[in-house]
């Protein structure tokens, strides 16, 4: 691919291209599922699954969402930000923002200064804040604040500004590209009223695509994990495409490997891809990163098992800079979005996990051992059972265990070929599960199903059909929705749950049918493609979008990507922030005193039309921003 990366296909388009051409499928259910907007509004007598949007008999939620009474009752005490297409960050009156850190900023004083003209070198990038910041978590320790931030992927035109069309050309370009991926661990502080990174802190650390890490869990040492460089299958080199994240109660950071497939290629164009490679979108062509040019482990024809070592959750101890990260294969291998950790009432640790690809699944891990306050909890994610969700149309659902008995696969095979295992037990194909967030006030969990243009159109990469229905009610779903479920008996380890849809995004200015969205979406607060999701300490739900920012046709009036806040009790949703041009808003964390909220602004100007945050004529840079109130009060 000799195209500028910024003009490259998106991850999903790349997958569709490399995947064997699926047959078009006609679903009879399509017509039935095309319910009317009237259906949402009546909230009970609707046709099909959308009867279960807010205020259903299962979850008695919605009061009137508009009008004086709800304003008086609102817990969202700020003036909503209007949708816009400006090249800046907009927050409500009474709030302010500043940049905390940007791609390329040195973490150490011996590192060269950021060079916007070239995008730096391999060496400078290894000592600097990574690109495309995404999920993050803050760790407070002895009055110090350590932020772990994912660096998902790269903006070729800026990172490789030293090359024509942003194409990595030399071994050092590949080194730089690999170093721009992974995780940045950095101490942060507010000094003289301004947030910034603490240069040379002993906690500062870069974890990149070349950092050694231990493989743990069922896949450790399995034949499928053995490679040329690691004949025992126990040490993997690096992590990349780190999307969402998690944070454990025992003080570790979880980083989630998402579109790991797009970095592999084959120099032998006749190399026969296995069905398992195809299921994960691994193909002869990479997505333009060209890592195989300088590192043969990315060449499938030379090291075909290397991809089996990626697509996992990685656990990092941010307070021990020399501790090796651990790949937790018990949590499965797929395109991991985030990892939402709950300690169930019975002490088992539950991790909710989404696989972000059209028609893939939603998972739950339950640890074998129990969390003990003050005990040694370091290896709770090493052993346990993985489950996959099955949603029934009648608002009920079940977690299906992935075991040797239910799948006919060994524990190691389940860990490595998790998608195949989930297909075997008949899990529900979802509209791209992105972040999962668990309500701190009750046993209730939310997941963004960001969008799925293939819903009701074609099967997933494993051939599982994707009929419209249940929590994925709309064919050609361009807007997305948020599903929520309550485990039976308020027990996160229970086999059953009830579910409903908290919101269906849409555009009521353009449509008056199902694509208008649910009743808590209106012309003033509308959005598309919910992605990031997190609860604050008050139990309010922060929703971030990674969607279509064309502001045209079906997306007219929705402006740039944004962050909204929702009240899970009333269903009320208000827009809190609008990002700069061509960005997505993703990932969040709060300062120890909760007067500051940190948010990732990722890939501003991904198509070339932004100079945020440094202003006219400068290269756009992914950055973490710090948002606070003018009056210094808590923000969430
Ligand atoms: Fe990296 Fe599914 O977002
Ligand atoms: Ca992203
Ligand atoms: Ca995401
Ligand atoms: Ca997304």
Q: What is the pLDDT of residues 423-436, one digit of tens each?
A: 999 999 999 999 99
Which ligand has the shortest distance to the CA of 529? 4
Reading the block at residue 369, the tokens are 């051992």
What spacing in Å lies between the alpha carbon of 541 and ligand 4's midpoint? 18
Instruction: Tell me whether strands 433-438 and 253-257 are parallel, antiparallel or unpaired.
Output: unpaired
Q: Is residue 133 part of a domain?
A: yes
Q: For residue range 486-505, what is the model confidence (pLDDT) as tens digits?
A: 999 999 999 999 999 999 99
Q: Which ligand is nearest to the CA of 546?
A: 4
- Work out the percent of the chain whose per-residue pLDDT is above 90: 88
φ/ψ (deg, to 5) at 516: -75, -20
Check residue 9 and give its pLDDT. Answer: 77
Atom nearest to 243 CA in ligand 1 = 1
User: Is 356 close to ligand 1, i.e. is its CB under 6 Å away?
Assistant: yes
* Ligand 1 closest atom vs CA 134: 1
Cα 544 to averaged position of ligand 4 atoms, centre (Å): 10
E strand intervals along 233-371: 235-237, 242-247, 253-257, 313-316, 326-328, 336-343, 348-355, 362-370
* 236 C-alpha to ligand 3 centroid (Å): 24
**Residue of 588, 615, 597 lying closest to 92 (CA atoms):** 597
Tell me, yes or no, if the pTM score tops 0.75: yes
Cβ–ligand 1 contact at 243 (below 6 Å): yes
What is residue 626's three-state secondary structure? strand
In contact, 182 and 211? CB cutoff 8 Å: yes
Model pLDDT, residue 71: 56
Q: What angle do CA 544, 81, 339 make, to 5 degrees?
A: 15
Distance from the alpha carbon of residue 580 to the mean position of ligand 2, in angstroms: 15
Alpha-carbon radius of gyration of the chain: 23
Q: What is the domain-level CATH number for residue 172?
A: 2.120.10.30
More confident residue, 27 or 368: 368
So what's the pLDDT on residue 7? 55
Which among 353, 289, 310 has a CA at the least distance from the CA of 211? 310
Mean pLDDT for the stretch of residues 325-354: 98
Model confidence pLDDT, tens digit, residues 123-161: 999 999 999 999 999 999 999 999 999 999 999 999 999
Closest ligand 1 atom number to CA of residue 259: 1
Question: Is-contact 217 415, C-beta < 8 A?
Answer: yes
Is residue 337 lining ligand 1, measured as CB closer than 6 Å?
Answer: yes
Cβ-based neighbours of 294, under 8 Å, separated by 6 or more: 170, 171, 174, 175
Q: Nearest bound ligand to CA 602?
A: 2
* Atom 1 of ligand 1, residue of closest alpha carbon: 243
Kindly give the number of the ligand 1 atom that is closest to the alpha carbon of 450.
Answer: 2
CB 434 less than 6 A from any atom of ligand 1: yes
Atom of ligand 1 nearest to the CA of 434: 2
In a domain, 188, yes or no: yes
Is the CB of residue 347 less than 8 Å from the CB of residue 369?
no
> Per the domain annotation, does 352 fall within a domain?
yes
* Closest ligand 1 atom to Cα of 432: 2
Q: Count how many Cα atoms sit within 13 Å of the Cα of residue 5 in the half-sphere of its side chain.
A: 26
State the DSSP code for 81: P
> How far apart (Å, rounded) are the C-alpha atoms in residues 148 and 142?
17
Cβ atoms of 622 and 604 within 8 Å: the answer is yes
Where would I find the beta strands (DSSP E) of 24-83? Answer: none
Residue 47 in this model has a pLDDT that exceeds 80 = no
Neighbours of 594 (CB within 10 A): 14
Q: What pLDDT, on the 0 to 100 scale, is given for residue 173? A: 98
Whether ligand 1 lies within 6 angstroms of the CB of 258 is answered as yes
Q: Is 26 among the domain residues?
A: yes
User: How many domains does the chain fold into?
Assistant: 1
Atom of ligand 1 at shortest distance to CA of 546?
Answer: 3
C-alpha of residue 201 to centroid of ligand 4, in Å? 32
Centre a 10 Å sphere on the Cβ of residue 550 and count the other Cβ atoms it contains. Answer: 12
Q: Are 385 and 369 in contact (CB under 8 A)?
A: no
Q: Is the distance from the beta carbon of residue 256 to the nearest atom of ligand 1 less than 6 Å?
A: no
Cα–ligand 1 centroid distance for 128 (angstroms): 23
CA of 531 from ligand 3 middle (Å) equals 5
Task: Using the atom order of ligand 1, give the atom closest to the CA of residue 335.
Answer: 2
Residue pair 149/600 in contact by the 8 Å Cβ criterion? yes
Q: Band the pLDDT of 53: cuts 50, 70, 90.
A: low
How many Å lie between the centroid of ligand 2 and the Cα of residue 152?
A: 7
Write the DSSP assignment of 490-539 as a string of letters. G-TT-SEEEEEEEEE---TTT-SBGGG--TT--TTT----EEEEEE-TTS
Residues around ion ligand 3, judged by CB within 5 A, are: 434, 531
- Measured between alpha carbons, how far is 623 from 43 in angstroms, rounded to an integer? 41
Where helices occur in 343-469 by DSSP H, the ranges are 404-407, 411-416, 418-424
Structural domain contains residue 635: no
Q: From CA 339, how far away is CA 380, in angstroms rounded?
A: 14
**pLDDT band at 282; cut points 50, 70, 90:** very high
The residue segments making up the domain with residue 497 are 3-629
* Ligand 1 in reach of 152 Cβ (< 6 A): yes
Q: Which ligand is nearest to the CA of 241?
A: 1
Distance 356 CA to ligand 1 centre (A): 6
pLDDT at 48 over 60: no
Asked if residue 379 is part of any domain, the answer here is: yes
Flag whether 636 is in a domain: no
CA distance 256 to 135: 9
Q: Is residue 634 part of a domain?
A: no
pLDDT in tens, 365-378: 999 999 999 999 99
Residues 385-395 have pLDDT tens digits of 999 999 999 99
Centroid of ligand 4 to alpha carbon of 242 (angstroms): 12
Ligand 1 centroid to Cα of residue 258, in Å, is 7
Nearest to 244 by CA among 498, 503, 437: 437
């Amino acid at each position: 691919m000799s195209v500028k990366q910024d003009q490259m296909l998106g991850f999903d388009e790349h997958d569709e291209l490399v995947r064997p051409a699926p047959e078009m499928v006609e679903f009879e259910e399509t017509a039935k599922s095309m319910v009317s907007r009237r259906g949402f509004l009546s909230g009970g007598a609707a046709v099909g699954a959308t009867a279960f949007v807010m205020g259903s008999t299962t979850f008695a939620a919605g009061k009137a969402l508009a009008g004086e009474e709800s304003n008086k009752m609102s817990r969202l005490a700020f003036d909503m930000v209007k949708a816009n297409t400006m090249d800046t960050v907009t927050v409500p009156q009474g709030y302010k923002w500043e940049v905390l850190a940007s791609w390329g900023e040195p973490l150490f004083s011996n590192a060269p200064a950021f060079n916007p003209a070239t995008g730096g070198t391999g060496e400078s990038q290894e000592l600097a804040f990574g690109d495309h910041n995404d999920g993050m978590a803050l760790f407070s320790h002895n009055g110090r604040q350590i932020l772990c931030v994912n660096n998902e992927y790269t903006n070729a035109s800026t990172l490789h500004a030293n090359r024509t069309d942003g194409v990595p050309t030399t071994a050092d370009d590949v080194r730089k590209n690999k170093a721009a991926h992974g995780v940045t661990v950095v101490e942060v502080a507010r000094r003289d009223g301004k947030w910034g990174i603490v240069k040379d802190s002993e906690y500062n650390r870069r974890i990149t695509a070349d950092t050694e890490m231990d493989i743990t869990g069922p896949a450790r040492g399995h034949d499928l994990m053995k490679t040329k460089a690691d004949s025992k299958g126990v040490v993997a080199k690096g992590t990349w495409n780190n999307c969402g994240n998690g944070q454990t109660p025992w003080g570790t950071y979880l980083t989630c490997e998402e579109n790991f497939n797009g970095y592999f290629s084959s120099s032998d164009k006749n190399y026969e891809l296995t069905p398992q490679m195809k299921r994960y979108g691994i193909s002869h062509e990479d997505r333009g990163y060209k890592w195989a040019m300088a590192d043969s482990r990315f060449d499938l024809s030379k090291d075909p098992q290397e991809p089996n070592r990626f697509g996992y959750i990685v656990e990092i101890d941010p307070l021990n800079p020399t501790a090796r990260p651990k790949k937790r294969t018990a949590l499965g291998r797929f395109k991991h979005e985030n990892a939402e950790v709950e300690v169930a009432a019975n002490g088992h640790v539950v991790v909710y996990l989404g696989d972000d690809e059209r028609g893939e699944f939603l998972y739950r891990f339950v640890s074998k051992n129990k969390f003990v306050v003050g005990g040694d909890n370091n290896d709770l994610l090493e052993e346990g059972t993985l489950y996959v969700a099955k949603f029934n149309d009648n608002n009920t659902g079940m977690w299906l265990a992935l075991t040797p008995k239910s799948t006919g696969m060994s524990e190691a095979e389940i860990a490595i070929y998790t998608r195949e295992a989930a297909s075997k037990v008949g899990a529900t194909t979802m509209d791209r599960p992105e972040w999962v967030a668990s309500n701190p006030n009750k046993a209730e969990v939310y997941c963004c199903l960001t969008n799925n243009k293939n819903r009701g159109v074609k099967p997933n990469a494993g051939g599982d059909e994707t009929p419209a229905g249940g929590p994925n009610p709309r064919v050609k779903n361009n807007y997305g929705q948020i599903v929520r479920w309550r485990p039976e008996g308020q027990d996160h380890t229970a086999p059953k749950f009830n579910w409903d849809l908290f919101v269906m995004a849409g555009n009521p200015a353009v449509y008056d049918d199902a694509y208008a969205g649910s009743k808590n979406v209106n012309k003033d607060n509308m959005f598309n493609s919910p992605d990031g999701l997190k609860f604050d300490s008050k139990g309010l739900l922060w929703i971030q979008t990674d969607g279509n920012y064309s502001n045209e046709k079906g997306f007219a009036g929705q402006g740039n990507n944004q962050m909204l806040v929702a009240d899970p009790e009333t269903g009320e949703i208000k827009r809190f922030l609008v990002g700069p041009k061509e960005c997505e808003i993703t990932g969040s964390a709060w300062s120890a005193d909760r007067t500051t909220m940190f948010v990732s602004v990722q890939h501003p100007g991904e198509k070339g039309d932004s100079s945020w945050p440094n202003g006219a004529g400068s290269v756009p840079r992914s950055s973490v921003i710090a948002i606070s109130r003018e009056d210094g009060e808590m923000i969430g």
